[in-house]
Structure formats: C-alpha cells, structure tokens
Structure 1
Amino acid sequence: MLPIVLLSIYGILNLFLGFLRSNRLLLTLMLVVLALIFGVNLLDWNHAGSLSGMLASPYVADMLTVDNYSVAFSGIVLLTALVLLPFSRSYVRLGEPNLAEYYSLLLFSLVGAIMMIGYNHLLMLFVGIEVLSISMYVLAGSDKRNVRSNEAALKYFLQGSFATGILLFGLALLYGATGTFRLAEMAQAIASPTNASLQPMLYIGVLLMLIGIGFKVSAAPFHFWTPDVYEGAPTFFTAFMSTVVKTAGFAAFLKLLVVALPAASPVWLPTIVAMCVLTLLLGNVSATFQTSAKRMLAYSSVSHAGYLLLGLVAGRGQLSGPAAQGIFFYSLAYSVATVAAFGVLKLVADQRQREDYAGLAGLARTNPLLAFAFTVAMLSLAGIPLTGGFFGKFFLFTAVASQGYIGLVVFAVVMSMVGIYYYLRPVIAMYFSPAEPGTAPIEVDSFQSVTLVVLVLLTLALGILPGLVSGLL
C-alpha cells in the first residue's frame, strides 16, 4: 500500500510547489516521483499483504490487499501516467498557471485507480471509483475557456453521478442479500443454499453493479458519454482517461466477478456476453463514420472495452488464470499504443489546431517520427501481427474459445476486421495525402521524441516477445 501513501503525500506537496511558479520543476519532479513510485510498487511482487499489517483497526483491516494481481495492474497505470507526462510539455512552455493543480489531480486519480485494483471490500471499491471519477470530472473541464471542454465536464459529471447512484444502490442490495462487503465472504454467502429466498435482491444488485461499472469502462449501452467527453476534454487528459480509467475499471470488474460473484454467474454471464456484443458492434461501426481522429479514438476506446469484456466472459477461474493474463496483457498493449496515438495527436492539434484526418495529411513528409509512431499505434490497436495488440487479442480470443464461446470469438474477429478500416484511414492521410500549402513541420522536443521511440519499441517488443509479460500473473 506504499504507492497509495506516496501518491497522496506528494499530491498534497505538489500543490505547495505550485507557489514556486516553475512548471519545468513541477514536470521534472513528477517524472522522478512517479518513476520512484513505479519502482516501489514492483518491490511488492511476491510479497502479499494487506492493511492489517499497517493499521490496528479491525474495520479497515483487509480492505485493501497487495498481491501479484494488484501489483501488475497498478504497474500498468503508473507506467501509463509516467510515459504520458512528457506530452504535457506544452503546458510547461505556455506557463499554464494551474499545472500544479492538474498534476495533483492526476496523482489523486492514480490513488483511486490503485484502490480499485487492490480492493478486497466493496466500500473500498466505491471510494476508489469516486476518488478517480471526481478527479476526472474536474480535468475534463480544465480548459475553462473552451465550450467543448465545459460541455464535456458537465456531461461526464451528470451521467457519472447517475451511474454512481446506480452502482451504490446495487452495492447496498448485495450487502442486504449477503450481509457482508468482503469479497470472499460474499462469495460464500451467495453459494450458501440458505440464501435462496434473497436471490431476487441479489440478482438485482448484481445487475445494478454491472451497469455502474459498465459506465466507468465505456461499455455499451452505457457508453454514450464517451465520444463527447473524449472529444471535448483536453487531449492530454483524454489520453489519461482512456487508459488509466479503463485499466483500473476492468481490473476491478474482473475481481468482482471472479472473487465475489462466481456463484451468481447465471445472472452476470449472459449480461456480460450481451454487453460485449453490443460494445463491439457499436464501437467499431460508429468509428468508421468519424472524420475527427480524436472522436475516432473515442469510439475505438469503446470497441476495446468490448474486447476486454471477452476476458470477463472467460473469467471463471482464479485471478491468475488465462482470462486475467489476457486482460493484463491487453491492457498493457492498449495503454502503450493509445498513449502514443494521443501523444502524436496532441502535438498535431496544438500546432495545427486540427484534430481531423486532414490535420494529419502529409505528416510522413514533415515529421517522419510522428507518422511512424502513430502508424505503429494504429496497427497495434487494429491487432496487426508483430505488435502488442495482436497478441493481446490472441490471448483473449484463446481464453474465450476455451470456454466454448466460438461464435463470440468469430464475431470479435469480424469486428477486428472492421477496425482495420478506420485505423488505416489516418495512416493513409499521413503517407498518401499532401499537406496543405505552407504547412510547417510539427515542433517536437527531444524528450517527447525519446518517449515516442520508447512507446514504439514497447509496442513492437510486446508483439515480438510477448512471453516477457504474458506469464506474469
């Protein structure tokens, strides 16, 4: 639990550092601190523990646990935040007066994400979701002079509040049916034949929990906020939202279903299958009609929620089974590629003031590195071989097929083929469409160039040597 403590302490300290009015110092310290916390998180590998070793109170003991599952997914969110930070250099150069507050909100949102990953008590899950969500509500509307940003924050807040209420109602019904908030005790209570009379309350509670968490991970039909919020929010925070929030959400989702609700699978399994089909269909088909690269990536994020839902369909074993390994690998490959894509898009939008495909036209001639990094990211998101996205889908498809859902796998493969169409559209624009006359090259500093190179190498490494991380869980 040391990463949570360190993130919270530095999040508060960072607010006071803002009085120094040195954005360069803020960025440097954020990179150093996140790198240290990432290392501290890895020190917990193979060292299982809980809050009971740190706090004497019986009310909070075992609410959060440390195991390889929580360390692995916490590592993804911390790494994602670390490689995303260099793309906030525009805020440093422009002297953004609120940068300290933005960074602190990012740190607090990471606290919520890690709480969602390591929870062992439903109240801790709820607290983690709220800490993460409230930070995102504020950051989505951080560009106060932009009408789209204000609209995004309002939509996200209002719809998120309703989803939170539904989630909390479902949590209360689960407690009423089982008499506990602890995951293992809840699983025992559900499996007990003495609770047969409470099954209607239990089943309704399960469905409400699926709705609440489905909203957080942009699963259809609870995804309608996603394209508008992703498009309106500043691109830097959109990238954070589409990676960290989704990774933490699915880590929490899988733990809830596998640890607490395995005996309730007759209720949640058909629901997850239906959500998976709907999410894949709406996400991929809607993305094909977009002319804005940013909005296309928003619907792409919805479609990837559908692929991750495949892991939940196959998640009937332990948190170290094929489903968990598939979700872990897919989350890592997806996060790396998405950060690269949004990073390039942010650089283009900041200097060309365009987020559509035409804004990417001719990028291969003016900025070959940006075009290559964006291309690798698109190929990975499409699931093309030799990229991490290919093996991410392969592991999930294999896990689902082993459970007998061959038709679902075939449908997912067809949707992947649809995805190739819209992922290649920006690539074609960069390499085969001429830039507008007088278009200047995008200015990219060495730090951002190195970050893009690292992201590309990570994506290719995951596609060529998947065994480096595929067997960690």
Structure 2
Amino acid sequence: MTSIILLSVFGIINLFLGFLRSNKVLLPGAMLLLLIVFGVNLADWGQGTQSFYNSMLVVDNYTVAFTGIVVLTTLVLLPFSRSYVVAGEPNLAEYYSLLLFSLVGAVMMIGYNHLIMLFVGIEILSVSMYVLAGSSKRDARSNEAALKYFLMGAFATGILLFGVALVYGATGTFVLSELSTAVAAPANASLQPMLYIGILMMIIGIGFKVSAAPFHFWTPDVYEGTPTFFTAFMSTVVKTAGFAAFLKLLAVALPGAQGFWLPTIQAMCALTLLLGNVGAAVQTSTKRMLAYSSVSHAGYLLIGLVASRGNLTGEAASGIFFYSLAYSVATIAAFGVLKLVADHRQRDDYAGLNGLGKTNPLLAFSMTVAMLSLAGIPLTGGFFGKFFLLAAAVGQGYIGLVVFALVMSMVGLYYYLRPLIAMYLRPAEEGATPVPVDGIQTVTLALLALLSIALGIVPGFLSGIL
C-alpha cells in the first residue's frame, strides 16, 4: 500500500519538477524516487498479510516479490531515456509521470483481492500505456500503434468486465476467497454455465494483456510502432503484472473450476508457443522479432500457470517469479541496446547491428548475454527460468507439453542467434562510427549482463522465494 501511495505522490511531484524546464533534473529525480519505492516495498517482506480498502487490496510476500520486479525493471530502464534528456524533450516530465502512474496500476493488479480492484488496476495501467504508445506524435507508426492498442485494449477490457459481471451474477461476490468457496460448492447449479462463460471471458481479457495467443495479434504492430523505450516497458512490466494477476485469479479464486479452465490454458499455451516462435523466426526487423519473442515467452509462463494447478505457492509459482525476473532483465538489456543503435544508425533491423562487436564491444556483449538468456542457454537466468517451469510441469505429468516447449525452444535458438551473427560475423557499413553510450547507460548494461549471468550461476538464491 505504501508503494502505491509513494508512486502516486511521486508521479504528481514529478509533474511539478517539469516546471523547472530542466530535463537534467528529471532523470536522476525519477530514478531516486523509484529507488525509494523499491526499498519501501522490500521493507514489507515477511510482515504477514496486510489488508487495505476493506480487504480489496492485500500486501503479502507475493505482492512484495512481484512489485519488486516491476519497480526494479522500471528503474533500470530509465537510463535509456537519456536521449530524451539530451534532446530537450518538452514532455519528459509527463512521460515519467505516466510511467509512475502505470506502476500504480501494476501494483494493484499484483495485490488485488477483489475483482473490481483488478479491473481498476488494469485500467490505470492500460490508459497510461495507450498514451505512451502514441507519444511520438509526428511518427505515423506511433499514431497507428496507439490507435490499435486503444481499440483492441478497450474491446478486451469490455470482455473482461462482462466476464466479471457474469461471475458475480453466478456467485454473488467479487472477493477472491469467497469466489473460491462459491465456485467449489455452487449454491445454484443452474447458474454454472453463466459462471463458466464468465471465467472464459476473464481468461480472454487477461490473455490479451499478456499477449497470449490467439489474443496476441495486436502485439507485433503495437510493439513496432511504439517508441522503443516504451516498448521495453510494455513488454516487461505489463507482462509481469499480468501474469501475477492471472496466477492469483486461478490459484485463489478459481481452483474449484480447474477442470474447466485448465484445458483452456493448456490450449492457449501450446498455441502461444507455436505462433510466437514461428512468427519470430520469419521476421527481418529486430524489434518485431522481440515482439514475437515476447509472445513466445508468454507461452512459457502459461506453462507455469498449468503446472501451478491452482496453487499460489510452490515450485510453479516460484518458477513464474524467477522467469519473470530473468526475462525482464534480458529484455530490458536487448531493447536498451536496440534503442541506442537505432537512435544512432536510424534502423532497427538485423543489418543495423552489423559490426557492433567491433565498434561497440560492450553493447555487443550485453546484447549477446540478453539473447542467450532469452534463448535459455546455460549459465544465464533464462536457462533456469525455463528449467524451473518445465520441471514443475513434468512433476505434474504434462510431459507432452514440456516436449513441445523444448522443440519450440530449439526454434528460438535460430532467431536469437541472428543478432549475434550480425554483430560479430558481418562488417559494419562503410563509415559507421561507434554508437555513443554515456556513463550511466554503460553501468546499467554491465549490471544487467552481470545479473543475467548471476541468475544463471546461483539461481537457488531466488528460486524458492514463494
């Protein structure tokens, strides 16, 4: 709760900092504010379950863990907005405040204990992202991305809200614990079809937010058109908050309906893995490849939902937490390098990375670690993220799903190695100069690479956190 209050207050304070007309104050100010929020959130660890707003929102270790990921992700992403500072972007204060406000929605999605709180959190997060997607007003692709995201997002939110209404009509409650009881022992069996339709519509609504197939169709175009800095935020923070909310919904509110939603999630998982990996393999743009890659990683996280079997703690839940952290670290590094290169070379395809290993060894190394982690290569966090999720699935007997996921991982190796081939085996264009990287970006990229490697060497430090 303290995190929500601080993020809201700091978002407003940041708007007032914009009146100083000095962008140089905004970046360190925003990073300092997020560092404070991260520390305050961490202080709630081990304090038991705290309830707020008539138990509509709860703060426990689950909330603290996933809130820590989204706040840390935003903190390490901010240095890559340096180009906005240097260029004197007149709307920088508004951008930072929208990021802080969207984090409020993310935290509400993670800590909700009431379906209305979940809806409010999704809306706060989504509205901020609609604006940021179209923040490059003179870019037709950005305008198109914002319009597509808004229209599709509004439609998906309507489906989610209709599902919530049907579930309420069948059970008479919005509270997760009461829903669990009502679903397991329905008072009126004739309302069960309404309940199942409502559950299905809620799964569709949340599936859109986390880019799960077949509700992923907006992702490539929106990711490509959105400014790269905000695409990185969208592909990490939104996905982490979405899966934290998804897991809580299935594990706390709907374990009694497992026989209904489990086959649905399994089908979504297989389709997401297939479409995400095959789609990424045929792309020529690095940015669109990362968009489809984001879809494929939603598939691996869905494996965690299947393996959890309605359990908010245990091997599968801890695997989802670890995977979310490893994925966020690698994705921020990949998008960070891509933004720096695209700003300098004015292209975001594979050819834009040509010769980067010679002109910018640090950028190439950071991108290499990120790609290897996303591919699930040993000694990176991504390897153990996949290992924990697949091990949990094997423990529950989902051998076929695990084998299919491993096959799709081999497809992933193909497109994750393409940036490495471009950086180290292809020459840079004639007259290409080194990509400028300032001190804070250098430190951030080095820390992200080291963190990915550390998660691959000592995964036990965080593997059983839930």
TM-score bracket for the superposition, by shorter chain length: over 0.9
Paired residues of 1:337 and 1:378 also in contact (CA < 8 A):
yes
Give the equivalent residue in structure 1 for 2:381: 388
Aligned to 1:13: 13
Report deviation, 1:48: 2.4
The Cα offsets for residues 352-391 of structure 1, whole Å up to 9 and x where unpaired, read as: 0000000000000000000000000000000000000000
Q: Secondary structure at the match of 2:46?
A: coil
- Among the aligned pairs, what percent are the same residue? 76
Residues 298-320 of structure 1 show CA distances to partners (whole Å, capped at 9, x for unaligned) of 00000000000001101125322
Within the candidate set 235, 258, 279, 1:286 is matched to: 279
Task: Give, in whole Å, the separation in 1 of the partners of 2:188 and 2:29.
Answer: 53
Supply the RMSD in Å over aligned alpha carbons.
Answer: 0.7
Distance 2:335 2:427 in 1: 22
- The reply to whether residue 192 of structure 1 matches residue 179 of structure 2 is no
Q: CA deviation at 1:194?
A: 2.8
Structure 1 residue 103 displacement after superposition: 0.3
AA aligned to 1:326 is: G
CA shift, 1:192, in A, is 1.2
Q: Is the CA contact 2:334–2:366 (under 8 Å) kept in the aligned structure 1?
A: yes
User: Does residue 339 of structure 2 align to residue 343 of structure 1?
Assistant: no
Residue identity opposite 1:28 in structure 2: P
**Alignment check: 8 A CA contact 1:250 1:308 kept:** yes
**In the alignment, does 2:95 pair up with 1:107?**
no
- Please tell me the residue identity of whatever aligns with 1:161: A
1:167 aligns with 2:147: no
Paired residues of 1:50 and 1:61 also in contact (CA < 8 A): no
**Distance in 2 between the 1:122 and 1:407 partners?**
34
How far did 1:266 drift?
1.4
**Which amino acid in structure 2 is aligned with residue 2 of structure 1?**
T
Establish whether residue 470 from structure 1 lines up as the match of residue 463 from structure 2. yes
Give a deviation string over 1:43-97, Cα, whole Å, max 9, x none: 0001124344xxxxxxx31111011000000000000000000000000000000
In structure 2, what residue type is equivalent to 1:226? T
Aligned runs of 1:337-416 on 2, under 5 Å? 337-416=330-409
> Which residue identity lines up with residue 258 of structure 1 in the other structure?
A
- Output the amino acid matched with 1:213: I
Structure 1 counterpart SS, 2:437: coil
Q: Distance in 2 between matches of 1:193 and 1:254?
A: 22
Tell me the alpha carbon deviations over residues 144-179 of structure 1, each in whole angstroms, 9 at most, x when there is no partner: 000000000000000000000000000000101110
Distance 2:405 2:51 in 1: 40
Shift of 1:220: 0.3
Deviations 1:248-279 (A, max 9, x none): 00000000000000011111111000000000
Match of 1:300 in 2: 293
1:98 is the counterpart of 2:91 = yes
Q: Is it true that 1:229 corresponds to 2:222 in the alignment?
A: yes
Cα distance in 2 for partners of 1:267, 1:93 equals 53
- Residues 388 and 461 of structure 1 are in contact (CA less than 8 Å); yes or no, is this contact kept in structure 2? yes
Flag structure 1 segments of 5+ consecutive residues without an equivalent: 53-59
Letter in structure 2 aligned against 1:72: A
The one-letter code sitting in structure 2 at the alignment partner of 1:240 is F
Q: Give the alignment of 1:303-314 within 5 angstroms.
A: 303-314=296-307
Instruction: Within 5 Å, give how 1:47-62 maps onto structure 2.
Output: 47-52=47-52, 60-62=53-55
The CA distance in 2 between the partners of 1:447 and 1:242, in whole Å, is 22
Contact 1:189 1:195 in 2 (8 A): no
Residue 321 of structure 2 is aligned to residue 328 of structure 1: yes
**Segment drifting more, 364-373 vs 14-23:** 14-23
Structure 2 portions without partners, runs of 5+: none
Aligned to 2:28: 28
From 105, 114, 128, the equivalent of 1:135 is 128
Query: Under a length normalisation based on structure 1, what TM-score does the superposition of the two structures give?
Result: 0.98
Give the letter aligned to residue 354 of structure 2. Answer: A
Distance, in Å, in 2 between the alignment partners of 1:129 and 1:85 is 22
TM-score (norm 2): 0.99
